[in-house]
Structure 1
Amino acid sequence: MKKIVLFTALILLTSIGTTSASLILDEGWNKTFGGSNSDGTYSGQFGGNNLVQQTSDGGYIIAGYTNSYGAGKKDIWLIKTDANGNEEWNRTFGGSDDDEAYSVQQTSDGGYVIAGYTKSFCSGYYDAWLIKTDANGNEVWNKTFGGSDLDWASSVQQTSDGGYIVAGVVNFRALWLMKTDSSGNVEWSKSFSCGWRTNNWASSVQQTSDGGYIVAGYGLNTTGYWDWYDAWLIKTDANGNEEWNRTFGCLYRSSGAHSVQQTSDGGYIVAGWTSCGDGGVLLIKTDSDGNEEWSKIFGISSAIPYANSVQQTSDGSYIIAGSTLHYSISGDSDIWIIKTDSSGNKEWNKKFGGSNEDRGSSVQQTSDGGYIIAGWTNSYGAGQSDVWLIKLAPETMLLPDLALSPSDIAFSNPNPVANEEITITATIHNEGDADANNILIQFYDGDPDGGGTLIGEQVISSITAGGLATAQINWIAQEGT
């Protein structure tokens, strides 16, 4: 009887190292909305960190401004889309002068609440404006708040009692915090100044787990002839009474806080910008008392980028939306999205834009694990600038997919000559979308799971995605019958 010799080759990816993996960010879709004039979403120091939200039906609500439609120069523009970014309806709110939205949220009744400012219906230069709509964007009520100077509402959130917390500025002097009932009637109002400093304002507010509020914004610092801003964080109780406040920055150089969120550990994540050092996007993590745990600055050479929005993601990391060029400078800016780990270390970043000015306002993680981004574009769309809505699919890790050919090699007629050296060859095809590194190929005489003997092995350092590699060993045939 002739002996049948069966050789088996195995691919072992983790025996001596790890294979490489690549992250793919798939732009699921993007949509522009606008007419022949200037339309967009606010992006800057006064708010705009919450201008897009996924709605309960899986679609999206966007608040911005339009000069193409409506009653006046600039009107608040509310746009509702389906899950694929197709417009379902839009509404404008405004009069003969400028009116703009800085914040929007879907409310518990399925409608929406909008915060911003109005110059059309005001008692002073600007008034804060709060608008409540039904689920179809039809106005239910609106309220204006302000005096003879400049007032606006930067941020709004529905509170646990069905009312609303609003943050902004009063008289362009003090950071302002106001609580209303469910009909927009004032329950209490507080103002905060950084010592004797003036020109302070809020950019972001959130109700905290203890029923109080966390507010982020700007505090003006003045020493002699020098003026600069600090990023400012204020914690209050449920009645708006200050519990503590913290400032973040450096001497003679400005910083600002544009967005704040309470994190899963009870602390806070704050995003904004700073001109400290080389300047750039500022990300600060604090404990529950506002003490800094870590801070990061993400810069770009020859520019000072800024963050407008930050959110903790489902994996405990952070997603940031902003722009590559400071809001005070017009020019070739792109939307800039940064993803960090839980310690603020950058995992990836992605830019969106063309040859003109494009700005990022808000980002939110969606129910599928992807992200929805709102901003405005001067590079694409119908007019001078358009509202820009971008959907990113969930992050996907691309891994190698290795196929071995042949996996079994049999000699039966004739047998290999006893004590003669033969060469055994196997081809490995990386059928995946990422490079593979440190691949260990092992050759067995017989079935490795059935007592087969290891007769040789070879390490392949790398196989590119879609590439081929060859492994071979020399083996001395054993005598048998």
Structure 2
Amino acid sequence: MPDGDVVVAGKTRSHGGGRAAGWSARLDPGGETRWTRTIGGARATDGFKRGLPRADGGTRLIGQTRSEGAGESDGWLLDLNAEGNTERERVFGGPENDRFVDAAMLADGGTLAVGFTASYGAGDRDVWAVRTDAEGRAVWQRTFGGSRDDGAYGVAVHDGRAVVVGYTRTDGEAGYDVWAARLDLADGEAVWTRTLDRSGMDAATSVTFAGDGDVVIAASTAGGGFGRDDIWLIRLSADGDNVWTRTLGGPSADTPWSLAPLADGGVVVAASTQSYGAGSADAWLLNVDDNGAVRWQRTYGGELWDWPGQVAVRPDGGLLMAGYTTSLGAGYEDVWVLRLDAQGRL
């Protein structure tokens, strides 16, 4: 947040009457809790996927809800003020299953939210992108995809450019491919689209802009690397041309979940790993330079299952990572937030 606080967003079953409810908390720079909020939960499953800081000190939360809206599930947008009180709530979608999975704030205070929709588009599910204004009202929405299953997991906006990434399933093909598109923010039309195939079971999970305007995509790939699932990093030029690709991982399943850009053109990758670390699964941070070489890597977690969600770079160069843990905390799964230095040390 602008004042150095940290807002985390997700879901809870501990405070929603046994049903999944949206959950958010605001922490001070030292990690002490200022407030927590549980929202929704009238029906399973409600939850937030992303929290976005607003310039006025409030927070915009996006995710999915079954408690509100018209369909099986709907895209959910909620604005909280600095004290954690709800200012407005919007739902988006039709009669079927529609969800927001990621979002980015825009220069005008609006939002570009992405995910998938089964209510609109050409296929079973399609990539869904919705631009809102600062009040959360829809400016436009677009779908992309064919007659089968397509969806978006990540979006990044920089300097008036927007890139959306996810997966596509081509007619007649058994597997999935990485899908990426640059969108015109004015109307949502695609400037370019790219499909990338490595193993037949590939999906992009996150995207960010590098320092020189290139696009870095993190994807999961099910073959052709070191283990059962590996991290596939893809760097594209601003025009969507391939610059380089790298595969990272060990003998077991390793999956990237988020990216954060570094000032020198590199990126930090937050992944789950079953190849390294202390437990069944651990959070794995990798610092990768602008040529795709790993400068350092660290794992975090205990003897059970610990997973990362979002990673962010603080103004001082330090890192923040949030996810969930079953090795620590009071319950089966608990929210897990780590403040790290620039080298990934606690």
Which TM-score applies when normalising by structure 1? 0.66
**Residue 285 of structure 2 contacts residue 344 of structure 2 at CA under 8 Å; is this kept in 1?**
no
Partner SS state of residue 29, structure 2: coil
Q: Distance in 1 between matches of 2:17 and 2:181?
A: 38
C-alpha contact 2:215 2:236 (8 A) present in aligned 1: yes
Shift of 1:78: 0.6
State the partner residue of 2:263.
Answer: 314
TM-superposed CA distance for 1:314, in Å, is 2.0
Match of 1:56 in 2: 2
Deviation per residue, 1:234-279 (Å, 9 max, x gap): 111121011110112225x211111111222121011121113034
Q: Corresponding residue for 2:335?
A: 387
> Take 1:292 and 1:206, find their aligned partners in 2: how far apart are those partners?
18
Name the structure 2 match of 1:324: 273
Give the alignment partner of residue 110 of structure 2, picking from 149, 160, 163: 163
Secondary structure of residue in 2 paired with 1:137: coil
Q: Are 1:257 and 2:204 an aligned pair? A: yes
Q: Distance in 2 between matches of 1:72 and 1:115?
A: 22
Residue 38 (structure 2) aligns with = 92
1:286 aligns with 2:236: yes
Corresponding residue SS for 1:165 = strand
Q: 2-side partners of 1:322 and 1:376: how far apart?
A: 12
Gaps of 5+ in 2: 119-123
**Counterpart check, 1:204 vs 2:154:** yes
Q: Distance in 2 between matches of 1:250 and 1:318?
A: 22
CA-atom RMSD in angstroms: 1.8
> Offset of 1:202 from its aligned partner?
1.0
Partner residue, 1:409: none
2: CA distance between counterparts of 1:91 and 1:307?
28
Would you say the 8 A contact 2:210–2:262 is kept in 1?
A: no
The percent identity for this pair of structures is: 31
Aligned counterparts of 2:140 and 2:117: Cα–Cα separation in 1: 14
Partner of residue 433, structure 1? none
Following superposition, the deviation at residue 365 of structure 1 comes to 1.3
1:436-460, Cα deviation, whole Å (9 max, x unpaired): xxxxxxxxxxxxxxxxxxxxxxxxx
Aligned equivalents of 2:247, 2:115: Cα separation in 1: 25
Q: 1:182 aligns with which of 131, 134, 146?
A: 134
The residue that corresponds to 2:27 in the other structure is: 81
Instruction: Give the counterpart of 2:165 among 208, 216, 225.
Output: 216
Matches within 5 A, 1:329-478: 332-395=280-343
Length-normalised TM-score, structure 2: 0.92
How many Å separate the matches in 2 of 1:164 and 1:353? 33
Relative to structure 1, the CA distance from residue 157 to residue 366 in structure 2 (aligned partners, 3 Å threshold; closer, same or farther) is same
1:112 to 41, 59, 63: 59
CA contact (8 A) 2:211 2:262 kept: no
Residue 84 of structure 1: how far off its partner (Å) = 1.4
1:316 Cα deviation from its structure 2 partner: 2.2
Show structure 1 runs of 4+ deviating over 3 A.
none
1:236 to 149, 164, 183: 183
Post-superposition Cα deviations, 1:391-437, rounded to whole Å, max 9, x if no partner, equal 1123399xxxxxxxxxxxxxxxxxxxxxxxxxxxxxxxxxxxxxxxx
The alpha carbon displacement at 1:324 in A equals: 0.7
Q: 2:77 aligns with which of 111, 130, 147?
A: 130
Deviations 1:305-360, CA, capped at 9 Å, x for gaps: 1111112212322101010149xxxx911111111111111111111111111101
The equivalent residue for 1:173 is 125
State how far apart, in whole Å, the 2-side matches of 1:60 and 1:88 are: 10
TM superposition shift of 1:198: 2.1
Counterpart-to-counterpart distance in 2, 1:120 and 1:81: 27
| Unpaired runs of at least 5, structure 1 | 1-54, 398-481
Q: Which residue of 2 aligns with 1:454?
A: none
Distance in 1 (CA, whole Å) between partners of 2:342 and 2:79 is 32
Q: Which whole-Å CA distance do the structure 2 matches of 1:228 and 1:324 have between them?
A: 23
Cα separation, 2, equivalents of 1:154 and 1:297 = 24
State the match for 2:97 in structure 1: 150
Whether the 8 Å contact between 2:165 and 2:207 is mirrored in structure 1 is yes
Change (3 A) 1:89 1:127: same
Residues 309 and 363 in structure 1, CA contact (< 8 A), matched pair in contact too: yes
The answer to whether the 8 Å contact 1:321/1:361 transfers is: yes
Q: Which amino acid aligns with 1:198?
A: R
Amino acid aligned to 1:179: R
Name the SS for the 2:192 alignment partner: strand
SS in 1 for 2:170: strand
Match for 2:22: what amino acid? I
Alpha-carbon separation, structure 2, partners of 1:95 and 1:317: 40
How big is each residue's C-alpha offset from its partner over 1:203-241, in whole Å with a ceiling of 9 and x where there is no partner?
1122232x2421011111343xx4211111111112101
Within 1, Cα distance between the matches of 2:210 and 2:288? 14
Aligned AA (2:255): Y
The answer to whether the 8 A contact 2:211-2:266 is kept is no
Report the alpha carbon displacement of residue 72 of structure 1 after superposing the two structures with TM.
5.6
Which residue identity lines up with residue 167 of structure 2 in the other structure? Y
Instruction: Assess if the C-alpha contact under 8 Å between 1:222 and 1:228 holds in 2.
Output: no
How many residue pairs end up in the alignment? 332
When Rg is computed on C-alpha atoms for both structures, the one with the higher figure is 1
Higher relative contact order (Cα pairs below 8 Å, separated by 6+ residues): 1
Q: Distance in 2 between matches of 1:359 and 1:332?
A: 10
What secondary structure, in the 3-state scheme, does the structure 1 residue paired with 2:169 have? strand
